[in-house]
């Protein structure tokens, strides 16, 4: 089309007509442009995004996953894994829904799953179909904040909501393909966490912590059709929201922490009392009771994470300001029935930096009977809330801690909890644009009792940057910093960047060869971690 000659339309008007359109006073007024208004021509060539300053903004997309689950319409807040079939996972989200799904990649071959293609190798890859749900867990009345399969065989899956509703479903099987609702309970205003009990004599038992500070233990028995969900114990000593819990490996004791900086270790089944182990401060129910009244134990801002050592002799609790306390536990049996450390992560801790300090600790990761209930170590190598803790399995004696300040710290329980390594930017970047991102979960790769664990020296972490990373804990010193120290792999695919796309949790059962995530972007991703 030919160019048209531009001319002033006022040229065809008489002087009287032009004066009628705009008087002199109005002509001198200046209309200020809103600073928030973007320039009309903000696009670049070839579809590039250009900001208001004319700078080209480059958006890089990377997806290392081999499968994904995208039926959730909001953030996926929790994830659980079947204890016998690690390919079966359950997720709950902010869309008031929960699902059970199979994490096995649909395009797996005899040689393993087909790894994802990059845009460099294939500029036009085909869109991948999401994993299908095995079952949708109905009757959720609010955000599903906690989810767990029962032990030892995963017969049931249990959900907890922010409205305080506890639902129990039969795990689908060949005989029963649907997730039948077995029973429900609503005794609290909000459920913060759910943990399955590993006690051999009390199968299908779970514990939960609530925002009113209470702790509840239920057992599931479908033979009692009138009351399949039975309360075993209730505890009410916490005076603030109960943020995390951890069973001892034998399932005989339950440690819980709260925002009031209290730790209680509960004698759930009365076995400690039968063995003559009591604590007068525990009200006859707790064998260990430590609160903020003890200035040595007090953590301003509260406690948010807990982990029990594989031998059952220690409990580590983490809280605001990067503080960690290690307390001795009574030993009620000679050997644990399951070496897997029971942990749960707590709510985000908002705190101020604190100076490091350390007190003597035992020379072994197992505390003796005389150390039960005693504060064995006080650690503060990080500067913000401790969101997550994990003990390594023997022969390693390490404790891993992930912090809101984006760092990962490793302490050696066999050497007075000396700081072995501190990685200041385990998640996030060390530049001004991104900065550190909170570490949401750390977990050592574990296996079942009596089996070899060639990956026992590996610890997996995830964070608000949307990345899953794995670290080799062998060697290294406390002075070694930087993300590259011990990093053996990282996997991307979630949005990340602190913009609602972080990884809120993961599972890695079955030896750690596959990691399945719960994303704040509403997606669960499956990563092969060779």
Burial class (CB in 10 A: 0-12, 13-18, 19+), 226: exposed
Q: pLDDT tens string for the chain (530 positions)?
A: 444 344 444 444 445 444 444 444 444 444 344 444 444 444 444 444 455 455 544 445 689 999 999 999 999 999 999 999 999 999 999 999 999 999 999 765 444 444 444 444 444 455 789 999 999 999 999 999 999 999 999 999 999 999 999 999 999 988 788 899 999 999 999 999 999 999 999 999 999 999 999 999 999 999 888 889 999 999 999 999 999 999 999 999 999 999 999 999 999 999 998 888 877 776 678 999 999 999 999 999 999 999 999 999 999 999 999 999 999 999 886 444 443 444 555 544 333 333 334 444 443 334 445 688 899 999 999 999 999 999 999 999 999 999 999 999 999 999 999 999 999 999 987 654 678 999 999 999 987 656 677 888 999 999 999 999 999 998 655 545 555 678 999 999 998 765 667 999 999 988 899 999 999 999 999 999 97
Helix (H/G/I), strand (E/B), else coil: 529? coil
Q: Report the predicted TM-score, pTM, of the whole model to 2 decimal places.
A: 0.81
Calpha distance 527→412 (Å, rounded)? 30
Give the 3-state DSSP-derived string for 352-374, with helices as H, strands as E and coil as C: CCCCCCCCCCCCCCCCCHHHECC
The pLDDT value recorded for residue 197 is: 98
417 token code pair: 């909890």
Calpha distance 225→95 (Å, rounded)? 31
Closest CA to 399 of 422, 367, 425, 383: 422
The pLDDT value recorded for residue 62 is: 83
Residue 21 is inside which H or E element, if any? helix 15-21
The pLDDT value recorded for residue 10 is: 45
The Cα-based distances of 330 to 131, 200, 261, 265, 379 in angstroms read: 45, 19, 21, 10, 22
- CB neighbour list of residue 383: distance below 8 Å, 6 or more residues apart: 321, 322, 353, 354, 403, 405, 407
The owner of tokens 């605001």 is 320
The pLDDT value recorded for residue 524 is: 97
> Domains, the chain, ranges and CATH?
60-108+129-528 (2.130.10.10)
The pLDDT value recorded for residue 120 is: 44
């Amino acid at each position: 089309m030919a160019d048209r000659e531009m001319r002033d339309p006022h040229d065809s008007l008489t002087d009287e007509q032009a004066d009628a359109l705009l008087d002199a006073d109005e002509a001198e007024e200046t209309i200020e442009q809103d600073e928030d208004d973007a320039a009309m021509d903000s696009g670049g060539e070839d579809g590039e995004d250009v900001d208001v300053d004319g700078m080209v903004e480059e958006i890089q997309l990377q997806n290392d996953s081999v499968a994904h689950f995208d039926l959730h319409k909001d953030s996926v807040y929790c994830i659980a894994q079947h204890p016998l079939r690690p390919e079966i996972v359950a997720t709950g989200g902010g869309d008031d829904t929960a699902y059970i799904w199979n994490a096995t990649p649909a395009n797996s071959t005899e040689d393993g799953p087909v790894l994802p293609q990059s845009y460099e190798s294939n500029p036009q890859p085909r869109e991948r179909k999401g994993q299908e749900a095995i079952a949708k867990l109905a009757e959720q009345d609010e955000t599903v904040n906690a989810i767990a399969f029962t032990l030892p065989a995963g017969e049931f899956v249990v959900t907890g909501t922010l409205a305080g509703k506890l639902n129990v479903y039969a795990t689908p099987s060949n005989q029963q393909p649907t997730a039948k609702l077995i029973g429900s309970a609503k005794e609290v205003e909000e459920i913060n966490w759910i943990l399955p009990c590993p006690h051999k004599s009390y199968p299908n038992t779970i514990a939960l912590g609530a925002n009113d500070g209470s702790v509840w233990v239920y057992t599931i028995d479908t033979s009692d059709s009138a009351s399949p969900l039975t309360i075993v114990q209730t505890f009410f000593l916490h005076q603030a929201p109960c943020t995390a819990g951890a069973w001892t490996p034998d399932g005989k004791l339950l440690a819980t922490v709260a925002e009031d900086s209290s730790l209680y270790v509960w004698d759930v089944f009365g076995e400690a009392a039968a063995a003559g182990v009591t604590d007068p401060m525990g009200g006859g129910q707790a064998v260990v009771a430590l609160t903020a009244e003890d200035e040595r134990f007090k953590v301003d801002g509260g406690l948010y994470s807990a982990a029990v050592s594989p031998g059952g002799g220690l409990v580590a609790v983490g809280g605001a300001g990067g503080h960690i306390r290690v307390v001795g536990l009574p030993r009620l049996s000679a050997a644990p029935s399951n070496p897997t450390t029971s942990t749960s992560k707590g709510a985000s801790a908002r705190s101020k930096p604190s100076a490091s300090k350390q007190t003597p600790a035992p020379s072994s990761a197992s505390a003796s009977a005389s150390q039960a209930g005693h504060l064995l170590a006080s650690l503060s190598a990080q500067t913000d809330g401790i969101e997550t803790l994990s003990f390594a399995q023997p022969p390693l004696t390490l404790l891993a801690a992930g912090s809101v300040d984006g760092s990962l710290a490793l302490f050696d329980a066999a050497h007075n909890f000396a700081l072995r390594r501190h990685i200041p930017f385990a998640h996030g970047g060390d530049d001004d644009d991104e900065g550190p991102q909170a570490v949401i979960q750390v977990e050592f790769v574990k296996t079942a009792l009596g089996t070899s664990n060639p990956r026992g020296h590996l610890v997996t972490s995830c964070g608000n940057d949307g990345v899953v990373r794995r670290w080799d804990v062998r060697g290294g010193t406390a002075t070694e910093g930087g993300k590259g120290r011990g990093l053996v792999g990282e996997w991307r695919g979630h949005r990340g960047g602190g913009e609602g796309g972080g990884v809120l949790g993961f599972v890695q059962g079955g030896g750690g060869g596959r990691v399945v995530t719960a994303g704040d972007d509403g997606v669960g991703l499956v990563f092969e971690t060779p």
